[in-house]
Structure 1
Amino acid sequence: MKLTLGFSPCPNDTFIFDALIHQKIDTEGLEFEVFFDDVETLNQKAMRGELDVSKLSFHTLAFTADKYALLDAGSALGFGVGPLLISKKNNENDFAALTKDEYKQLRVGIPGRYTTANFLLGIAYPDLTNKKEMVFSEIENGLLNDEIDLGLIIHENRFTYQDKNLHKITDLGAYWEKLTGCAIPLGGIVVSRKLDRAVQLKVNRLVRQSVEYAFAHPDASLDFIKEHAQTMQESVMRKHIDLYVNNYSIDLGEEGRKAIDMLFYWAKSRGIITEIPEHLYV
């Protein structure tokens, strides 16, 4: 049986899925046709229900829970891993003193409408509404070229923005941790509800085994990661993996599920979503 599988070319995803798609583990008769896309493209595909198995932002899950169930394995949650709001100017104190109307005037580059980063931005700063959707890797240049006033950065840009003399305004992960005491949920792996229950559970089991294999053989996926990480330095690649792949990636557990449920609770309380999705998990 062949399933379509979508994930990003970022090191955390290629680290997780290397063993699965290259059959370094027993895939129990399943094959996977792989699609590499940035996270917002994957979010849009999930909205249309295009893939059997996919990485997506938890923001998107709020609108696709009727089509997909969340796996216990493969998610990105953690402490100190949240998106950063950055600026060309070192004006953290000035930013905090702005009025509601002044917030609305600021142009904010975001890595996609349905990213969890934008979800968190809406929870923390509901008055930052003048948003421009950009490919995540272009946000730093948007600031440098004065196309935007603020940039919401994710992935490896967390490690590179200071090299370009850009400045952190707010760590939205730290904001979330202070607000809830929970790990910050960023993205997860979902499986189509159209598939038989037995297949859904098999996919969940295989993704977990793939993550466990990656942890047990940390260098086995290095060539695959480098192939898709483009010009990223190996040190940045390893930081990226260490930041986003952890025990929650093996199994959400009670704490992981609590963090995800809390995310949807706060999104509803801020008016970002109208209903909290039910029956999220496989």
Structure 2
Amino acid sequence: MTEQPLQIAFSPCPNDTFVFEAWAHGRVPGAPAIDVTFADIDITNGMAERGEFDILKVSYAVLPWVLDEYALLPCGGALGRGCGPLVLTLPPVPGSAGAGRSPMGGVDLTGRTVAVPSERSTAYLLFRLWAAEAVPGGVGEIVVLPFDEIMPAVRDGKVDAGLVIHEARFTYQEYGLHSLADMGEHWESTTGLPIPLGAIIAKRSLGEDRLRQLADVVRASVRSAWDTPEVSRPYVLGHAQEMDPSVADQHIGLYVNEFTADLGEAGYAAVRGLLTRAAAEGLVPALAPGALTFA
């Protein structure tokens, strides 16, 4: 009897398509077949909370809610330095009524509407840790939007600020926007740790042997992409939402790094640090002992 393909969901962003291209096209020897669904991070976070799909790319911030059912794979995700989410606003107008100033030197976000990519995203968790210090009066309404709609919403005045991820780091100036604060800079300066963004998780019910195999497959797919990047390029650009090829290359260069091949000691320390600090602030449930273990 033919084994059914594993159901996997990840974003159409260049780092994810780059990582999984070889596996998706059957070029990883011995790898199980997969059926790929492309979905925004807010969608995959919800899928994980509902126990849908065998393998998912999710925010590290959602792990405390899903690690009973899913195991964190030690590879394939997005974690690094200099790659944190940004808080964007329209450029502050000097002397304008009510504009105010924040401790970070930009527009005061007290009581303001902020668009975020997901309320369970790592970006939003980092934002909440930052805002607790930088916006003592508290921000106003939080609006969840697909990440590619956030910059237009800020530009058009539909929201006061936007929390952006992915290639927005390279393109926000094209929208005439101002970077109020870098969540990654704040995280790195206060902890010294790399920034944990997106994780790859797989159902624990698959069994420990299969989970270890999946980790090996992900690593092999990453190595294939690094060894022959020209092979993955049509797949990457075909799903990159009309992204400029040079921006796609910058995106991959920033988010696919040594932590993608293996979290290692520093990577796990970053994940534990984020979730432990967030739990201490009452933002996420506390992790059970050993929850981050691979299998």
TM range (shorter): over 0.9
Distance 1:184 1:256 in 2: 9
Q: What is the aligned length?
A: 278
Within-5 A mapping of 1:88-237: 88-90=90-92, 94-96=101-103, 103-126=109-132, 127-237=138-248
CA contact (8 A) 1:108 1:132 kept: yes
Query: Paired residue for 2:96?
Result: none
In structure 2, list runs of 5 or more residues that go unmatched.
94-98, 133-137
Q: The residue matched to 1:275 in structure 2 has which SS?
A: coil
Q: Choose from 21, 27, 39 the match for 1:18.
A: 21
**Residue number in structure 2 paired with 1:8:** 11
Match runs of 1:17-96 below 5 Å: 17-28=20-31, 30-90=32-92, 94-96=101-103
* Cα displacement string for residues 90-143 of structure 1 (whole angstroms, at most 9, x for unaligned residues): 379812279xxx744110010111111001011111333521111111111111
1:209-261 Cα distance to aligned partner (Å, 9 max, x none): 10111111121100000110121010000000001000000000111000100
| Distance in structure 1 (CA, Å) of the matches to 2:267 and 2:100 | 33
**Is the 8 Å Cα contact of residues 155 and 176 (structure 2) preserved in structure 1?**
no
Structure 1: gaps of 5 or more residues? none
Distance 1:254 1:168, change over 3 A: same
| Partner SS state of residue 72, structure 1 | coil
Relative to structure 1, the CA distance from residue 97 to residue 116 in structure 2 (aligned partners, 3 Å threshold; closer, same or farther) is closer
Alignment partner, residue 135 of structure 2 = none
Report the TM-score, using the length of structure 1 for normalisation: 0.94
Distance 1:251 1:9 in 2: 22
Cα root mean square deviation, aligned: 1.7
Query: What secondary structure is seen at the aligned counterpart in 2 of 1:259?
Result: helix
C-alpha separation between the residues in 2 aligned to 1:72 and 1:27? 19
Output the CA distance in 2 between the equivalents of 1:248 and 1:97.
Answer: 30
Report the CA distance between 1:277 and its aligned residue: 4.2
**% identical aligned pairs:** 36
Runs of 4+ in structure 1 deviating by more than 3 angstroms, as ranges, are: 90-93
Q: Residues 22 and 221 of structure 2 are in contact (CA less than 8 Å); yes or no, is this contact kept in structure 1? A: yes
Structure 1 CA distance, aligned partners of 2:280 and 2:266? 21
Cα pair 2:152 2:175 within 8 Å, conserved: no
